Structure formats: structure tokens, C-alpha cells
Amino acid sequence: MDRELARQWLSTALDEARTGLAEGGIPIGAALYGPDGGLLGRGHNRRVQDDDPSLHAETAAFRAAGRRRSYRDTTMVTTLSPCWYCSGLVRQFGIPRVVVGEAETFSGAHGWLAAHGVEVVVLDDPECTELMREFISGRPDLWYEDIGSEDTGHDA
Amino acid sequence: MDRELARQWLSTALDEARTGLAEGGIPIGAALYGPDGGLLGRGHNRRVQDDDPSLHAETAAFRAAGRRRSYRDTTMVTTLSPCWYCSGLVRQFGIPRVVVGEAETFSGAHGWLAAHGVEVVVLDDPECTELMREFISGRPDLWYEDIGSEDTGHDA
């Protein structure tokens, strides 16, 4: 896809990430876009805010988009490489395209999605990276809890 | 694990599935158990009831269990073979064991989990199978929507 358009869509996810941070939460945001560039749903990680471990940014955006008969013409946009949970969501529902803000602070399963035919665009966005880098450095406990890692140091 | 214990735990998930059916929903239930046999969370698919595509049975049970620092000593029990979304959840959070009621009406990613070191116990429970068989036959639209399949016939 066009990288300029991908960057535009990423700004929505980045807004969500910043909102999450301002709420005291984990700064990861996502948005689900339709074929015509219409926004279907947006959201951010809500582990802290709602005490809900099931709401990663991508699942929050998916939830916000409501029930749909098909996802074949949608794009999931997320500030961070999607973990197995969120990548499983993308694969199960046949979302054909994923825009990833950055995969430097955490490399999830975006490569696995690409290997299974999903178009993956990694934007290496410095704002996304900086947001996560600062957060992980300041609150490693929350971050490692969010990805189910027993480490609190450097395992991701 | 002991199959009798697995069957006991499955009865909780099956209760959830029946509750979901009685509510007009998709009859899939799940429960997350702790190491001592303590029930951490239980839930059922809530697509219809809450208009929420993100709540599969397993994610509902995971959500109900609340925030945890580790899942290394837990078991996910589900009436039906977990889809990619729910299998991704299991893998990301390091849930080491999954009890599956049946994998006949839908074969999800339980084999993938087993290949990645998860202990998978498939119970071939006739009640679980019958519940899904009748449901899929009566409401194929809902079922195929729930697994993101554009088919409404026989693709799973």
C-alpha cells in the first residue's frame, strides 16, 4: 500500500496510544480501516484502565468496529508489532493487511502473518518507538505483564 | 493430565456453552483453571448477546480471570477446538495446557499449540459435538460470522 496513506492511518493509532499513556495505561493504539479509508474502529490497550487483560490495542479496535460479516477489505493499523494473540485475531478473521508503527521495542508475530499471506507494512516510526521505549524503561512490570512474560527485565 | 479431572473441568465450560445457547448466542464455553483446581474465570461466546465480536469463549474466560502476573500454572478448558485468535491468546500468555471438548465440528489451531509445546487434551465429548452440530445446522450465518469465514455453507 501507499506509505503516505499508511502514515496517515498510523496517526490515528498513535493518538490512541498517547491517550492510553495519558490515562496511566500502556501506550499502544490501533485502528481498523475499511476499503475506502473509512475508520471502522479505534482503541488502545486497556489493561490498567479497565483491569482487563483481554483488551490489547488491536482487540480494542476490533471490538469497537462491532460485528462484521467480513474483514476481507480491512486494514489493521497498530503502533506496535502485534503479539500472538492479536496476530491470531488478524489471521482468524482474514484481515488482509496490517500496518505496524514499529517492531523494534517488541517483535511480535508480524513475520508469521506475512508468511501466511498478510500484507505487512512496517513503518519504523520514531514516535512509536520512543513512546514504547520510555514506557518499557519506566514500567517494565506493566509491560511484561501485558505480554505474559515472567521476566521483568529484558525478555520480550 | 488425568482425563477424569479434565472431564470435570469441561463440565464448567459446557455449562457456559449451554447458558450461551439459552441466551440466543453461540454455544461455546470456556474456563480457566489454576494449579490447585481453583476456577480463575469462566465465560462464553458473547457475539450475539453483547454485539461483541472480540468475546469468544476463551477470551471471555481469560477476561473474567482478571489480571495475572503469570499463566504458567493455568489450564484453558474449552468446549471447542480454539480458533487462531484464541490459540494466539494461549501461546502469547504461556498457558501450558488446553482441554478441548471436541475438534470434530471445527478444527482450530490446537495442533499448532501442541507443536509449540502446549499439552493439548482432546476429549471427544459427544455433548459438546452435538451442541455445535445442531447450532451450526440451525444458524450457519452466526457460526461463519464468528470464525470470520465468508462461506455460509461448509467451510470451516
How confident is the model at residue A119, as a pLDDT?
Answer: 98
How confident is the model at residue A120, as a pLDDT?
Answer: 98
Check if B155 contacts A (Cβ < 8 Å).
Answer: no
**Strand ranges for A84-152 from DSSP E:** 97-102, 119-122
pLDDT digits (tens, 9 = 90+) for A123-133: 999 999 999 99
Residues of A numbered 65-84 whose beta carbons fall under 8 angstroms of chain B's beta carbons: which are they?
Answer: 65-72, 83-84
At A76, is the secondary structure helix, strand, or coil? strand
pLDDT digits (tens, 9 = 90+) for A29-42: 999 999 989 999 99
Q: Which of B72, B88, B150 sits opposite A89 (nearest CB)?
A: B88
Check if A155 contacts B (Cβ < 8 Å).
Answer: no
pLDDT digits (tens, 9 = 90+) for B10-69: 999 999 999 999 999 999 999 999 998 999 999 999 999 999 999 999 999 999 999 999
- pLDDT > 70 in chain A, percent: 97
Contacts (Cβ under 8 Å, ≥6 apart) of A32: A39, A40, A41, A42, A61, A62, A64, A65, A74, A75, A76, A77, A95
pLDDT digits (tens, 9 = 90+) for A97-135: 999 999 999 999 999 999 999 999 999 999 999 999 999
The residues of A carrying an active-site annotation are: 58
Q: Which of A63, A68, A88 sits opposite B88 (nearest CB)?
A: A88
The average pLDDT across A11-33 equals 98
Rounded to the nearest 10°, the torsion over CA A95, A99, A102, A108 is 10
How confident is the model at residue A151, as a pLDDT?
Answer: 73
- The length of chain A, given as a count of residues: 156
Tell me the C-alpha distance between A127 and A124, whole Å: 9
Is the pLDDT at A152 greater than 80, yes or no? no
> With bands split at pLDDT 50, 70 and 90, how would you rate the model's confidence at A150?
confident
> With bands split at pLDDT 50, 70 and 90, how would you rate the model's confidence at B152?
low
- pLDDT > 90 in chain A, percent: 95
Average model confidence (pLDDT) across chain A: 96
How confident is the model at residue B155, as a pLDDT?
Answer: 45
DSSP B27-39: --EEEEE-TTS-E
For chains A and B, CB pairs below 8 A equal 99
How confident is the model at residue A60, as a pLDDT?
Answer: 98
Is the pLDDT at A8 greater than 90, yes or no? yes
Residues of B numbered 11-50 whose beta carbons fall under 8 angstroms of chain A's beta carbons: which are they?
Answer: 47
Closest Cα in chain B to A46: B67
pLDDT digits (tens, 9 = 90+) for B70-115: 999 999 999 999 999 999 999 999 999 999 999 999 999 999 999 9
Rounded to a whole number, what is the distance in Å from the CA of A92 to chain B's nearest CA?
5
B58 tagged catalytic: yes
Q: Cβ contact (<8 Å) for A87 and B91?
A: no
Is the pLDDT at B130 greater than 50, yes or no? yes
Closest Cα in chain B to A84: B88
> With bands split at pLDDT 50, 70 and 90, how would you rate the model's confidence at B151?
confident
Is the pLDDT at A156 greater than 50, yes or no? no
Q: Which of B66, B109, B145 sits opposite A67 (nearest CB)?
A: B145
